[in-house]
C-alpha cells in the first residue's frame, strides 16, 4: 500500500500513471520473474507512453481543430483529378514539414479542401509537431484587435511558434489595409521557417480582390508559391456530408 509521502512525491513529479497503477505494479512485480532492472524498465516505458499520449492530446486540444477529419475515409474516387499518390506520399512522410514547405488547397465550396488540410494538420500533430487551425476571418479579426492594444508583435510571435499552421477559407472575407499588412508580415516571417497549410476558394489571380493591395498580394503569392505544393480542386464535385468525423 502506498503511503501519503510517496503519493505526494509522485504527484509532484507528475507521474500520474505510476500513481494510479501502483498497487497493480506491485502485484505484477510479485508474480513475475523479471529482474529489478527489467521490471523498472517496463514501468518507466509505460509511464513514458502515457506522457506521450497526454502530450499528443494536449497538442490536439491547443490546435483548436473544429472537426477531426480522417484521411482514410476521403473519397478520392469522387475527385479523380487529385494526385492521390503525391498527397499520400506527403501525408505519410511529412517531408514538407521537415523542408519547411507549404501546402495550398484551391477549389470551390465543399470539395474537400478543409478535410484534406485538417488531416495533414492532425497527422503532423500526432507525430509531435505543434500546430494550430484558424479561420482566415478569425485571424484577420485577431490581427485587427491586436492593433487596438498594440499587441501585434506578441500575436504574430505566437503564430510563428507553431510548426504547422492551417489558415482555412482564405478569400471568403475582405481584409482591411492594416490587416493585409499584418497578414503579410506573419506569412513573410513563417516563409522557409515553418510550414503553412492554406485553403482558398479563389485562384491567385483573384486574391487582390479581397486583399485590396496589388503589391502586397503579388509579394505574398510569390513567397507562398516559392516553397509550396499546390492541389487544385477547382473542377471537383461537392462532398458535403461525405467525410465522416473521427469518433
Is residue 56 scored above 50 in pLDDT?
yes
Burial class of residue 99 (count of CB atoms within 10 Å of its CB; 0-12, 13-18, 19+): exposed
Of 57 and 24, which is predicted with more confidence? 57
pLDDT at 80: 87
Confidence tier at 240 by pLDDT (50, 70, 90): low
Average pLDDT over residues 76-85: 91
Confidence tier at 26 by pLDDT (50, 70, 90): confident
pLDDT at 16: 83
Of 197, 191, 195, whose CA–CA distance to 219 is shortest?
191
pLDDT at 14: 80
Alpha-helix runs per DSSP H in 161-213:
177-190, 208-211
3-state secondary structure of 83: coil
Query: How many separate helices (H) and strands (E) can be counted in the chain?
Result: 12, 5
pLDDT at 105: 96
Distance, CA of 141 to CA of 139 (rounded, Å): 5
End-to-end CA distance of the chain: 38
Lowest model confidence (mean pLDDT) among 111-125, 165-179, 225-239: 225-239
Average pLDDT over residues 149-170: 96
Report whether 19 contacts 46 (CB < 8 A).
no
Return the DSSP state at 77. Answer: G
For the chain, the average pLDDT equals: 89
Average pLDDT over residues 211-227: 91
pTM: 0.84
Residues of the chain above pLDDT 90, percent: 63
pLDDT at 61: 96
Average pLDDT over residues 41-63: 89
Domains with residue ranges and CATH for the chain:
4-60 (no CATH), 64-233 (3.40.50.300)
Lowest model confidence (mean pLDDT) among 20-29, 56-65, 92-101, 132-141: 20-29
- C-beta neighbour count of 142 within 10 angstroms: 16
* Residue 202 main-chain phi, psi, to 5 deg: -120, 145
Confidence tier at 246 by pLDDT (50, 70, 90): very low
- Cell numbers 485571424 correspond to what residue? 139
Confidence tier at 58 by pLDDT (50, 70, 90): very high
Residue-wise pLDDT tens digits, 120-156? 999 999 999 999 999 999 999 999 999 889 999 999 9
Average pLDDT over residues 71-83: 90
Amino acid at each position: 500500500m502506498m503511503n501519503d509521502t510517496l503519493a505526494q512525491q509522485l504527484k509532484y513529479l507528475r507521474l500520474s500513471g505510476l500513481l494510479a497503477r501502483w498497487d497493480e505494479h506491485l502485484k505484477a512485480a510479485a508474480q513475475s520473474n523479471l529482474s529489478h532492472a527489467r521490471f523498472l524498465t517496463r514501468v518507466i516505458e509505460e509511464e513514458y507512453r502515457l506522457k506521450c499520449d497526454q502530450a499528443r492530446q494536449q497538442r490536439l486540444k491547443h490546435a483548436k481543430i473544429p472537426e477531426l477529419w480522417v484521411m482514410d475515409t476521403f473519397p478520392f474516387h469522387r475527385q479523380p483529378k487529385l494526385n492521390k499518390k503525391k498527397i499520400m506520399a506527403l501525408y505519410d512522410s511529412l517531408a514538407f514539414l521537415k523542408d519547411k514547405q507549404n501546402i495550398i488547397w484551391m477549389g470551390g465550396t465543399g470539395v474537400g479542401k478543409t478535410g484534406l488540410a485538417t488531416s495533414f494538420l492532425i497527422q503532423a500533430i500526432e507525430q509531435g509537431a505543434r500546430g494550430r487551425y484558424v479561420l482566415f476571418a478569425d485571424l484577420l479579426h485577431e490581427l485587427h484587435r491586436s492593433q487596438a492594444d498594440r499587441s501585434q508583435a506578441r500575436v504574430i510571435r505566437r503564430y510563428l511558434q507553431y510548426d504547422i499552421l492551417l489558415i482555412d477559407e482564405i478569400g471568403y472575407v475582405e481584409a482591411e489595409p492594416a490587416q493585409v499588412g499584418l497578414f503579410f508580415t506573419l506569412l513573410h516571417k513563417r516563409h522557409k521557417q515553418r510550414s503553412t497549410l492554406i485553403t482558398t476558394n479563389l485562384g491567385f489571380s483573384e486574391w487582390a480582390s479581397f486583399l485590396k493591395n496589388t503589391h502586397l498580394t503579388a509579394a505574398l503569392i510569390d513567397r507562398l508559391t516559392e516553397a509550396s505544393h499546390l492541389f487544385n480542386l477547382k473542377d471537383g464535385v461537392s462532398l458535403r456530408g461525405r467525410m465522416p468525423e473521427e469518433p
